[in-house]
């Protein structure tokens, strides 16, 4: 397994996003299927496992903790605070006392004495970023977490946070169809020596060519139903981009998912994608991207084919967009 660096850790070049084993994409898999998927990833050399207090309102941390506890020394365990479920609703709360309490709760669910990489899941704009990161720094001092991460923040916020305590990783969405990190965050990460962790690198199945009709294929509670790019009219236009994309994948002798991940891996050795999946076959396919090598001409062609100008619809609806701090085109 190829390795990349996050702060003090060497991790597999592809991590595993664990969210959809418990949260957000309709009915989760059975506990037995979820456990098998986690162990299969481990057996294949994946060492970075990414969860959060929010996912399944604690259920995902409980799952990950139970399954991976016997293998704790082999993995880098990442979780998140600052956004949790309270009385069935998602709540953003970055107050220092909440962050510290949430960490203690997560440690219990994860069945570990220390979380390797602990992210502020969302910046609570009612709380100065310096105060939230200060609480995370206190957790480092207390030995409860080893490194600090941020999620969905701008370059300016990253720099403010990094001035309080070194930030090991910044996590946000990055793929061919979501290029926002290219505005400023990637450059800021490189200036500061911060690893970039890319979630939804397969554009929530779009780049895996795994979703053709959101109206009929998505369950009622699937979060993609609230995302403008998946609205029927927008998605039909986006699907037209896949004809040439499929042709390129076939020409390369790889799957569409492998092409998307290979493009992202080629964008920098400091980028660690964390695709999520419930399918053992998809997991194996994703890991196969590590063997795909793209020439510069191919990368340029992909850049021109699928980007912020050719994709129809913003990535989030207006209400969700107000909650995040990322730069927008």
Residues 6+ apart with CB under 8 A from 174: 180, 181, 196, 198, 199, 200, 201, 264, 271, 273
CA distance 199 to 214: 20
Q: Active-site residues: which are they?
A: 55
DSSP one-letter string for 41-97: HHHTT--EEE--STGGGGHHHHHHHHHHGGGGGG-EEEEEESEEEETTEEEE---HH
3-state secondary structure 278-304: CCHHHHHHHHHHHHCCCCHHHHHHHHH
And the tokens for 225?
Answer: 């139903």
3-state class (DSSP) for residue 113? coil
For the CA atoms of 80, 209, 63, 42, the dihedral, rounded to the nearest 10 degrees, stands at -100
Residues 6+ apart with CB under 8 A from 1: 12, 13, 44, 45, 46, 47, 290
Q: How many CB atoms lie within 10 A of CB 33?
A: 14
């Amino acid at each position: 397994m190829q390795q990349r660096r996050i702060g003090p850790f060497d991790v597999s070049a592809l991590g595993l996003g664990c969210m959809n084993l418990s949260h957000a994409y309709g009915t989760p898999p059975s506990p037995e299927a979820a456990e098998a998927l986690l162990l299969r990833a481990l057996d294949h050399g994946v060492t970075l496992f990414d969860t959060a207090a929010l996912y399944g309102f604690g259920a995902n941390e409980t799952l990950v903790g139970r399954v991976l506890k016997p293998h704790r020394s082999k993995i880098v365990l990442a979780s998140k605070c600052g956004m949790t479920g309270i009385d069935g609703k998602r709540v953003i709360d970055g107050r220092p006392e909440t962050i510290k309490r949430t960490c203690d709760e997560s440690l219990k669910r994860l069945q570990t004495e220390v979380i390797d990489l602990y992210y502020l899941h969302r910046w609570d704009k009612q709380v100065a970023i310096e105060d939230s990161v200060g609480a995370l720094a206190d957790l480092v001092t207390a030995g409860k977490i080893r490194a600090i991460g941020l999620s969905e923040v701008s370059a300016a916020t990253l720099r403010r946070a990094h001035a309080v305590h070194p930030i090991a990783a910044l996590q946000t969405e990055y793929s061919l169809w979501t290029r926002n990190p290219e505005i400023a965050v990637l450059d800021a990460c490189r200036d500061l020596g911060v690893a970039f962790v890319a979630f939804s690198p397969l554009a929530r199945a779009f780049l895996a060519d795994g979703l053709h009709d959101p109206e009929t294929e998505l369950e009622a509670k699937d979060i993609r139903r609230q995302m403008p790019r998946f609205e029927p009219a927008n998605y039909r236009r986006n699907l037209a981009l896949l004809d040439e994309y499929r042709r390129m994948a076939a020409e390369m002798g790889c799957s569409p998912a492998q092409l998307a991940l290979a493009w992202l891996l080629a964008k920098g050795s400091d980028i660690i994608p964390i695709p999520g999946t419930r399918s053992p076959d998809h997991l194996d396919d994703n890991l196969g991207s590590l063997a795909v090598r793209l020439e510069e001409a191919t990368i340029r062609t992909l850049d021109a084919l699928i980007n912020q100008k050719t994709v129809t619809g913003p990535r989030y609806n207006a209400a969700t967009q107000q909650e995040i701090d990322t730069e927008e085109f």
